[in-house]
Amino acid sequence: MSVPCALLAVWLAAAPADQEVGSGPQPSPTPVSWELEFRFLDPKRIEIQLPGQDRPEVYWYVVYTVVNNTGRSQRFCPSFQIVTADLRVLDTDMGISPLVFDAIAQRHRVTHKYLVHPTKACDMLLTGEDHARESVAIWRQVDLTLNNFTLYVAGLSGETRLVSNPVWDPNRPEVTAVIGPDGRKRELPTNPRNFTLRKTLEIRYTLPGSPSAGFEALPERGETRWVMR
């Protein structure tokens, strides 16, 4: 079951107050499922003025290369999220103008000449370096002026873990019917009995200097590790 991040936050908040951060469910010390090789550039900032706009818009992006060395084709469908120091969860924007992607591709044309649009990154990935896929995750107008943030990349491993929801209420329905923006009725998990955690790459960053300098500062990479999320 796919669970909103807010519910996962509730689950994490239910941990004992003296529990060390990061001491929850951990990935297996040795891979127990398929795992893809992931190479990436640290987040970069770009300003682009689109036709009809009065001023440029700010975008952050991460250029990456993924290689399948598992010995068999794998379905690759990545998910990128930025979590800020004040716990805002920022998803990528798949509806960004193609002109933004074109500008990023032009900037990295020498080192990543096979860059594909994010909407084309999700597909079967054949084995071997010759079939490596290059793409980019893009965020529109995100505020990264705080001094640190964390990047999470899911879809690189098949390892999962089913954990119980400590705040599950047997007297409440597990799903709630909602009407989506398209007018269709959907079921949203609001009281799940369990959470499915996935092995996810966590990359921590700091922005040197004062918060007012955040827009100009280059993120500095800190700890990189696998987590269950």
CA distances (Å), origin 71, targets 37, 57, 62: 12, 42, 27
From 23, 4, 15, 11, select the one nearest 164 (Cα to Cα): 11
Which residues pair with residue 138 across a beta bridge?
61
**Which whole number is the average pLDDT over 217-228?**
94
**Which whole number is the average pLDDT over 42-49?**
95
* pLDDT band at residue 10 using 50, 70 and 90 as cut-offs: very low
* pLDDT band at residue 215 using 50, 70 and 90 as cut-offs: low
What pLDDT score was predicted for residue 184? 84
Q: What is the DSSP letter of 36?
A: -
List % helix, strand, coil for the chain (3-state, nearest 5). Answer: 10, 40, 50
Output the CA torsion sign for 151, 157, 163, 168.
positive
- Range with the lowest mean pLDDT among 104-113, 132-141, 201-210? 201-210
Contact 61, 47 (CB under 8 A): no
Residue 184, judged by CB atoms within 10 A of its CB (0-12, 13-18, 19+), counts as exposed
* pLDDT band at residue 44 using 50, 70 and 90 as cut-offs: very high
What pLDDT score was predicted for residue 216? 65
From 98, 96, 89, 190, select the one nearest 149 (Cα to Cα): 89
What pLDDT score was predicted for residue 145? 72
**Distance from C-alpha of 133 to C-alpha of 129, rounded to nearest angstrom:** 9
**Which whole number is the average pLDDT over 155-172?**
93
* pLDDT band at residue 11 using 50, 70 and 90 as cut-offs: very low
Look at 185 and 111; give whichever has higher pLDDT.
Answer: 111
Query: What whole-number percentage of the chain has pLDDT above 90?
Result: 64
Q: What is the dihedral of CA 88, 153, 96, 110, to 10 degrees?
A: 130
* pLDDT band at residue 98 using 50, 70 and 90 as cut-offs: very high
Question: Over 70: is that where the pLDDT of 61 sits?
Answer: yes
